[in-house]
Amino acid sequence: MFDKLTDYQDDIIEGIFRRCAADNRPEVMNLSIGVYRDRHGAAPVMNAVRQAEADVIASQQTKAYVGPLGNMAYAGAIERLVLGDDHPVIDSGRLKTAQTPGAGAALRVAAELIRDLAPDTTIWFSDPVWLHQVDFFTRAGLKVAWHPYYDWQSGTLDFDAMLDGLGKAKAGDIVVIHAACHNPTGADLSLDQWRVLTEFCLQRKLMPLVDSAYQGYGDGIEADAAGLRHMAAHMPEMMIAVSSSKSFAVYRDRVGALMLLHPEGGRGAEEAWLHMGDLIRGLYFMPPDLGAAVITHIMSDASLKAAWQAELETARTHVQRLRQLTVDHFTTALPDFDSRYMLRQKGMFSCLPLSDEQRLTLEQDHAVYLMPSGRLNFAALSEDKITYLAEALNTVWK
């Protein structure tokens, strides 16, 4: 059986990670993986998380199974974090949530649910998008399609082209939308565009699947959820995949959720939720609990919650500062490259206008690692290396 693996080719993204990990040059810069790093280059554990984890471990009385649908206290806390305490769907009976091992597992469960209930559905993604998101659906045997999203010339979201592309979708198709800090471009929908897109989906009977992975890293916790909240208040059906990895810096603990918004609620919503539990049981049986318990404790303790919010805001403003410093350096060192578009974008990422050949040259000649889209993670960029990055880019572009 294993003889069939002789022609195995590494996943393009995993290949970047492996090459970077094996690179021993002192100037190596890993700007590829989407992890927040502080001024010292460390991916820190938040103080609020450290304290909450100590509290949970000290008080934990059992390691018994929590069940396929996971920690329900965490599910409730995440519903209120993402949608807000006063959102109309919170107590409507239409909203059902399962804890998952990160947003990746949430998307995989969503794919299984779609395959069970609507196997002929097409899943629509922005061009470009984080490629691993697509894998969850293609590996479930679902059809995928792409709609225009990003204007590479101006570094802005091309909303008219987006709607024109989605005009080819058929009723019942799924549209994957990033709630904030679009991955990989950082080009986000405005609140007015969220309103137009909501009406567009209603008229054409398209179902949104919103991916909320970076809440708090764009304009702040509340602002980053505003568009998603508007859409959830108006759509009859909707799914939301949530990651706690970035907002709480618990990447390796794998904490996330899949939220289902049912058109009627009641028994129908309950059955959809129970069916989701059956799918989870067949995929990975149950999610890990410690990370979810820690986040639940933070969200239920006023002091810890305030400390977490302050730490997240510090991370957000640090990334914004690195954006500004990068643009300042690029303006001086690369006068033919107008990098000001990066200041209009949100979150950790922007894309550099590089061909794949130029990107690989950066790796080979300068030890600078970027994603295939040219995605640059500002949160992994230290201030003292911005000049080196600019010089490397200048060499590649020449």
Residue 236: count other Cβ atoms within 10 Å of its Cβ.
Answer: 12
To which H or E segment does residue 279 belong? helix 266-283
Strands (E) in the chain, as ranges, are 29-30, 95-100, 122-127, 143-148, 150-151, 156-157, 174-178, 207-212, 238-243, 256-261, 349-351, 368-369, 375-377
Please enumerate in sequence order all residues whose Cβ is within 8 A of that of 4, keeping only pairs 6 or more positions apart, or say none: none
Helix 226-234 and helix 191-204, axial crossing angle in degrees, nearest 10: 30
Tokens of 76: 């409730």
In angstroms, rounded to a whole number, what is the distance separating the alpha carbons of residues 98 and 280? 9
Helix (H, G, I), strand (E, B) or coil at 19: helix
**Catalytic member of 96, 188, 194, 211:** 211
In angstroms, rounded to a whole number, what is the distance separating the alpha carbons of residues 129 and 98? 25
Contact 241, 256 (CB under 8 A): yes
Residue 197: count other Cβ atoms within 10 Å of its Cβ.
Answer: 22
In angstroms, rounded to a whole number, what is the distance separating the alpha carbons of residues 293 and 53? 8
**Catalytic member of 124, 130, 194, 308:** 130
Query: Phi and psi dihedrals of 264, rounded to 5?
Result: -120, -30
Q: Is 211 part of the annotated catalytic residue set?
A: yes
**Catalytic member of 96, 124, 246, 253:** 246
Q: Which amino acid belongs to residue 377?
A: N
Tokens of 69: 């649908």
To which H or E segment does residue 174 belong? strand 174-178
Active site residues: 130, 211, 246
